[in-house]
């Protein structure tokens, strides 16, 4: 692992409400971690090779807590449908195609390439129920250099025949997947991925709960996305006081050091919010997806006030693209509409808060990740905003805001994950 | 005016609910107008030069019914503020700078260049109160080849000293502006532009009403954007039953052949909706602006059901960019949140409806504009979506939807306004 220094306008979230800026500062990378941000380069780092990025912004890499790799193929289509319709008409038929490894290679190749080119450095990724295609996706993600968690999906009920696993098969394939990839990757981890309660029988959920206990693997799934879906779960698990309690009943809802992330959480009961907090479960807030599928707007202000851990997800393809900058802007925007339209909603999110969610907030799911501060793993992106033409000078905060609202992958000049250069251009 | 034929996948709105497609079809331009869309090229056009765009999409040019040119300079910043705060802290201070023609030349130059590169072919543009900078903007817009209406803004109260005109001065400068530009442009028209009731005294409004009657010029302004603003107008014009009636009282609210467009219309009373319809006033629906400034969500479904005329506006810089494709996606998205969160809201907009609003709906403000059908002025854009990588085949409708949700100016290969080539690349 090389040691080096990046020079540029450094910005990171110190707290949820506060940026830390070091204009024309020095970001030192030692052994894959930040050794700090400095206005003047300390003597002890003077021998490290230095890349001077001039007036560019240097930001922590972005974190996507929820994205479906197989759905990337149809991103930006099928937007006139609600969740359960959309699953049946768009998502499931596409996912069936990943039984074909040639198709998977082409589709996942596009996904991996675009993820690599984006500002994202870490992601929690759903694959499909297919073991082999999931391994292929992991191979491709490993090759990008990003730090990802990838899950073979479990689903043995309430889905098309072509996607439905047998109950035993679902658990056996999961175990075989874990055996096959053991030791294969440096930066790609498996994550247990029951699709959601409606698609997983009690037996599969119990089996995954056991597997989690034995392996200590992290867990990702969906929670309280849509009111119809939540009502369905109440029917399926009448013994659970809330949707989250159903996961908890199977041992798949955080607590005892278990890292769990639940996408959406748009319609929590008060009990569910308390449980999210008590069990340290991360919420993957997916504002654009929740808009596109008419799900609603998650109560993020309330989650933050209550101490629930929150990050951002793009949820491709219910969200139309892989940009976490866009997810930050979307998070601010929907929070404003919720503030305006929903009875008793808290005040809108600020730029500072949205940036925090997309970096340090979600980064905590990966460990010491999502910041340029000393001790954090050195994930960084260099953003050149000169292409966003402007007549006058802007403050650094204004430049960052423009990057959040207006930038695309073409503005990313370089990206690093754990101190490793992903690309420079 | 040259006659020519474009070949490609033609798509236009036949009605609000229905696209008309001609796959690998021929779009014929004669004397600046469409002579029709054809599956086979009729013999009588066989001698016209033909540009074959292969598998590209050919769409009508997009129409932006509301954009502030001077605010383009600070697009994507200041997003954490509400309307009246935002005007005082961001919009007004920036607009004061257009007293300086050198600054105006640089800032408007960037605006004009980016508008030219976008998919927009027609726009209703606010300048500032400055006559000379407004003329400069008109010169620049004329040079782009787009078809635009540009307004010198009138404002003589409730604004910073640097922007406030004297009452007489406001009217005199407007008349002088109109004299100076008379006959100067082929495709750039003046439009009367009282900023909004709170910024215009009764005397200015009456004067503009007279000027409109004498000149027949079109009118643009803002209406019922924000609840605080609407309450303010009730205080300022206690004689008016609603905000729209205040404009009507001054002779600036459509009717008798007057072309009027009002931006926003988020909080109409039932009386105001009826008046919009009765007077044939166009609503410029600006979904992203209304979100960013916490204004709310306009009742577009109700407007369409009632027969109110509606188009889309980007409202830069309360909207962060000039893309009307993005405004289409935003219009669908906010309509879903309104459907989900607002009591009694109508069903969400569809892709077909949003595309209609951004083309034919707004185009009607410019005459026979916004469609590829025979008889319409030949505004068209050629979109090459190959850069939006995908593994499988898509229907043409799916490709169009992806263009709406995902494309940027880099996907526009060519643009035509009234049959004139703006660029080919």
Residue B301 contacts A, CB cutoff 8 Å: no
Q: How confident is the model at residue A142 (pLDDT cuts 50, 70, 90)?
A: very high
* Predicted TM-score (pTM) of this structure: 0.98
Range in A75-89, A278-292, B127-141 the model is least confident about = A75-89
User: Cβ contact (<8 Å) for B406 and A110?
Assistant: no
- CA B161, B166, B170, B173 dihedral sign is negative
Q: What is the pLDDT of residue B1?
A: 62
Cβ(A167)–Cβ(A204) under 8 Å?
A: yes
Strand, helix or coil for residue A395: coil
A154-180 in b/e burial notation, b at 16+ Cβ within 10 A? bbbbbbeeebbbebeebbebbeebbee
User: Cβ contact (<8 Å) for B77 and A350?
Assistant: no
Which chain A residues touch B295 with a CB distance below 8 Å?
340
Cβ(B284)–Cβ(B308) under 8 Å?
A: no
- Indicate the angle between helix axes B167-181 and B131-144, nearest 10 degrees: 30
How far apart CA A114 and CA A110 sit, in angstroms, is 6
Candidates A411, A406, A425; CA nearest to A59 is: A411
Cβ(B27)–Cβ(B372) under 8 Å?
A: yes
| CB-closest option in A80, A107, A404 to B391 | A107
Using alpha carbons only, what angle is made at residue B112 by residues B107 and B113, rounded to the nearest 5 degrees? 100
Q: What is the pLDDT of residue A2?
A: 86
Q: What is the pLDDT of residue A393?
A: 86
Q: A389-407: per-residue pLDDT in tens?
A: 998 889 999 999 999 999 9
Q: What is the DSSP string of B235-269?
A: HH-TT-SSHHHHHHHTT-S--TT--EEEEE--S--
- Of all residues in chain A, the one with the smallest CA distance to B112 is A389
- Of all residues in chain A, the one with the smallest CA distance to B289 is A333
Q: What is the pLDDT of residue B168?
A: 98
- Of all residues in chain B, the one with the smallest CA distance to A394 is B74
How far apart CA B75 and CA B26 sit, in angstroms, is 38
% of chain A residues with pLDDT over 70:
100
> Which of B17, B70, B80 would best serve as a mutation to test chain A binding (most A beta carbons within 10 A)?
B80
Cβ(A295)–Cβ(A225) under 8 Å?
A: yes
How far apart CA B332 and CA B353 sit, in angstroms, is 9
pLDDT, averaged across chain A: 97
Which chain B residues touch A404 with a CB distance below 8 Å?
76
Q: B251-261: per-residue pLDDT in tens?
A: 999 999 999 99
Low-confidence stretches of chain B (pLDDT < 70) are 1
Candidates A220, A342, A230, A357; CA nearest to A281 is: A220
Cα–Cα distance list, A370 to A160, A283, B343 (Å): 38, 16, 40
How many CA atoms within 13 Å lie on the side-chain side of A21? 13
Q: Which helix (H) or strand (E) holds B167?
A: helix B167-181
How far apart CA B252 and CA B284 sit, in angstroms, is 16
State yes or no: ipTM above 0.95: yes
Q: Tokens 């997806």 identify what position?
A: A289
How many residues belong to chain A? Answer: 425
- Of all residues in chain B, the one with the smallest CA distance to A98 is B391
Q: Tokens 């090389």 identify what position?
A: A2
- φ, ψ at A121 (rounded to 5°): -115, -20
Mean pLDDT, to the nearest integer, of A297-322? 98
Domains of chain A, first to last:
3-60+373-424 (2.30.40.10), 62-366 (3.20.20.140)
User: Cβ contact (<8 Å) for A340 and B294?
Assistant: yes
Q: A34-66: per-residue pLDDT in tens?
A: 999 999 999 999 999 999 999 999 999 999 999
Q: What is the pLDDT of residue A3?
A: 97
Q: Where are the beta strands (DSSP E) in B160-281?
A: 188-190, 193-194, 219-223, 260-264
Q: What is the pLDDT of residue A1?
A: 61
**Which are the contacts of A122, defined by CB distance < 8 A and separation ≥ 6?**
A61, A62, A63, A64, A146, A147, A148, A362, A363, A366, A369, A370, A379, A417
Q: What is the DSSP string of B349-390?
A: PPHHHHHHIIIIIHHGGGSS-S--STTSB--EEEE-GGGS--
């Amino acid at each position: 692992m090389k040691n080096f220094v990046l020079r540029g306008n450094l910005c990171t979230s110190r707290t949820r409400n506060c940026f830390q800026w070091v204009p024309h500062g020095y970001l030192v990378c030692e052994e894959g971690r930040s050794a700090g941000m400095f206005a003047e380069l300390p003597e002890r780092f003077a021998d490290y090779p230095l890349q001077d990025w001039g007036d560019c912004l240097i930001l922590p890499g972005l974190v996507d807590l929820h994205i479906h790799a197989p759905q990337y193929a149809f991103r930006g289509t099928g937007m006139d449908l609600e969740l359960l319709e959309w699953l049946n008409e768009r998502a499931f038929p596409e996912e069936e195609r990943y039984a074909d490894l040639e198709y998977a290679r082409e589709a996942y190749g596009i996904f991996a390439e675009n993820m690599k080119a984006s500002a994202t450095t870490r992601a929690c990724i759903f694959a499909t129920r297919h073991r082999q295609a999931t391994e292929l996706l992991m191979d491709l993600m490993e090759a990008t250099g990003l730090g990802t968690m990838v899950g073979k999906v479990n689903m043995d009920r309430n889905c098309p025949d072509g996607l439905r696993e047998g109950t035993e098969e679902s658990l056996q394939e999961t175990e075989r997947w874990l055996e096959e990839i053991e030791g294969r990757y440096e930066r790609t981890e498996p994550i247990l991925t029951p699709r959601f309660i409606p698609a997983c029988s009690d037996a599969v959920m119990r089996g995954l709960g056991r597997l989690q206990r034995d392996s200590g693997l992290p867990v990702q799934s969906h929670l309280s996305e849509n009111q119809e879906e939540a009502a369905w779960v109440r029917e399926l698990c009448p013994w659970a006081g809330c949707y989250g309690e159903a996961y908890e009943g199977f041992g798949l809802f955080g607590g005892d050091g278990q890292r769990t992330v639940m996408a959406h959480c748009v319609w929590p009961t008060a009990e569910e919010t308390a449980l999210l907090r008590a069990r340290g479960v991360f919420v993957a807030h997916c504002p654009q997806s929740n808009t596109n599928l008419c799900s609603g707007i998650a109560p993020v202000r309330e989650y933050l006030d209550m101490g629930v851990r929150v990050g951002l997800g793009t949820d491709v393809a219910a969200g139309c693209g892989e940009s976490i900058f866009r997810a930050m802007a979307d998070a601010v925007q929907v929070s404003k509409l919720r503030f305006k339209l929903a009875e008793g909603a808290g005040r809108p999110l600020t730029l500072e808060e949205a940036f925090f969610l997309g970096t340090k907030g979600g980064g905590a799911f990966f460990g010491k990740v999502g910041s340029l501060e000393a001790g954090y793993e050195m994930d960084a992106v260099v953003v050149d905003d000169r292409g966003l033409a402007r007549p006058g000078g802007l403050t650094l905060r204004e430049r960052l805001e423009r990057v959040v609202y207006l930038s695309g992958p073409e503005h990313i000049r370089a990206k690093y994950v754990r101190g490793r250069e992903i690309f420079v251009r």
